[in-house]
Amino acid sequence: MADAVISSDKPSKSSPLNPPSRITCHVCQKQFSQYTCPRCNSRYCSLHCYKSHSLRCTESFMRENVVEELRQLQPNDETKEKMLDILKRFHSEEETEDMDEEDSTLSEDTIQKFLSGGQISFVDLSAEEKKRFQRAVASGELSKMIEPWDPWWLRPSARTISLSREGTQLVQPLSKDELSVSPQLNNESDQASDIPPGPESPLPPVSKLSSTAPSPLLAVHLVDIIYSYCFTLRLYNGDWQSDAIGSATVVLSVSSVLGQGGQPETVLEALSYCLEQTCSPAYRHIGGLQFRLGLVDDVVSILSLGGNALLCLLSDLYRLVQSGERELKSEKLQKSRKLEIKNKLKLAERKIYFIMCWVHDQPGEAWSSLAAIVRAEKASAMDYINISRKVEKKAENRGKVLIQEME
């Protein structure tokens, strides 16, 4: 006789004689259930049925798991001191450089090459000229020559990103003939086309990629990845395609998770590493401290947009790394160095894809909670800077009074 289908609402205990796969899904009543809701013990067969079985369960489960894990992982005193030291050191160096600004002129050889009709690229500049050029970009001297880039995550169209249930793109960009129908439609389509497209193929659940449960630290790692992506796109004025291998190298150098195999345990630790790398000599002249702290605002903005925006970001980063791998093949580098970069890019590609699938699995309210944590860390950093400036100003004023009394 055929096995009876169990459809009781009471939670059942699974055993070799009573497998859970023989219980029907309490939501669709069509498929056999494979999972149990950790809050109400209701049986369901898929992620879609889980998300629709109880709004109360799905809204609170992620908050209790992710947010509580992040709360327990409080930064220790050593991490806080490191973060404050980075801010203090870079703030002092920034003030020193402002007092000792060099003349941003080109060398005689470079000028003669330009006057003779030759083209000058960034690689033609000397080390000193490159530094001066970067300073000119950071200070805004060249802003009239470079069209400012408007980050896609700050545009109104980013708030209405739609993806399919599987995470893939729903709407394809219109053709030129379709765009010529209406100027208003043209403008809206241009804004929509500036949003990076989502994944090209359906995203599998994380359970299909790994037999072990995903780490609760993935939320922290995501902050590290978003920061490195935003820094890279702002550095390249939104056009990473112009130098995919260079862009990929910047991502690897800024991100502890993708470039160093790091496992930051707190949001503060992740942000501290990113700030330390962007304050290094390689990027010191790309904007100031406020620019770097402004990137934290970018992270908050993207998290606030929700899961669809995150999937578009990770998909764009995934394509960036893949393009870097393709360009690396034609690069003339030492064999060992080339192999090292290739291995790092391959590992980064796998990590980005895994994070992308994990993000797709999460309920939408998780990202607003994570955004609030990042915003709080940034507020703490700004409080430190303001207090530090007040202390320095008071010390400076006391010194002036002392000199006047001695005179």
Helix axes 218-235, 267-278, angle to 10 degrees: 20
Tell me the CA distances in angstroms from 37 to 33, 61, 251, one per residue in order. Answer: 11, 9, 38
Cβ-contact 70, 267 below 8 angstroms: yes
Tell me the CA distances in angstroms from 27 to 56, 62, 387, 405, one per residue in order. Answer: 15, 20, 55, 83
DSSP line for 373-393: HHHHHHHHHHHHHHHHHHHHH
The number of CA neighbours under 13 Å toward the Cβ of 168 is: 7
Determine the pLDDT at residue 28.
85
- Considering the domain architecture, whether residues 126 and 159 belong to the same structural domain is answered as no
**Looking at the domain assignment, is residue 407 inside a domain?**
no
Determine the pLDDT at residue 137.
58
Report how many domains make up the chain: 3
Determine the pLDDT at residue 6.
43
Q: How many CB atoms lie within 10 A of CB 178?
A: 12
Instruction: For residue 194, give every residue at least 6 positions away whose Cβ sits within 8 Å of its Cβ, in sequence order, or none.
Output: 152, 155, 157
- Considering the domain architecture, whether residues 136 and 282 belong to the same structural domain is answered as no
Extract long-range pairs of 183-190: CB within 8 Å, 24+ residues apart.
Answer: 188/157
Rounded Cα distance, 320 and 327, in Å: 11
- Considering the domain architecture, whether residues 301 and 157 belong to the same structural domain is answered as yes
**Looking at the domain assignment, is residue 214 inside a domain?**
yes
**Looking at the domain assignment, is residue 160 inside a domain?**
yes
- Considering the domain architecture, whether residues 116 and 59 belong to the same structural domain is answered as no
- Considering the domain architecture, whether residues 364 and 227 belong to the same structural domain is answered as yes
- Considering the domain architecture, whether residues 243 and 356 belong to the same structural domain is answered as yes
- Considering the domain architecture, whether residues 236 and 138 belong to the same structural domain is answered as no
- Considering the domain architecture, whether residues 225 and 358 belong to the same structural domain is answered as yes
As averages over each run of 10 residues, the pLDDT of the chain (407 residues) reads 44 44 77 76 78 64 57 58 63 52 55 61 69 63 65 94 86 48 46 80 91 90 96 92 92 94 90 87 77 90 95 96 92 86 94 96 87 87 63 57 49
**Looking at the domain assignment, is residue 255 inside a domain?**
yes
Instruction: For residue 115, give every residue at least 6 positions away whose Cβ sits within 8 Å of its Cβ, in sequence order, or none.
Output: none
- Considering the domain architecture, whether residues 130 and 72 belong to the same structural domain is answered as no
**Looking at the domain assignment, is residue 67 inside a domain?**
yes
- Considering the domain architecture, whether residues 211 and 163 belong to the same structural domain is answered as yes
What backbone phi and psi angles, to 5 degrees, belong to 365? -70, -10
Determine the pLDDT at residue 184.
47
What is the domain-level CATH number for residue 59? 3.30.60
**Looking at the domain assignment, is residue 53 inside a domain?**
yes
Residue range of the domain that includes 34: 21-76
**Looking at the domain assignment, is residue 87 inside a domain?**
no
- Considering the domain architecture, whether residues 249 and 352 belong to the same structural domain is answered as yes
- Considering the domain architecture, whether residues 382 and 295 belong to the same structural domain is answered as yes
What backbone phi and psi angles, to 5 degrees, belong to 15? -155, 170
**Looking at the domain assignment, is residue 406 inside a domain?**
no
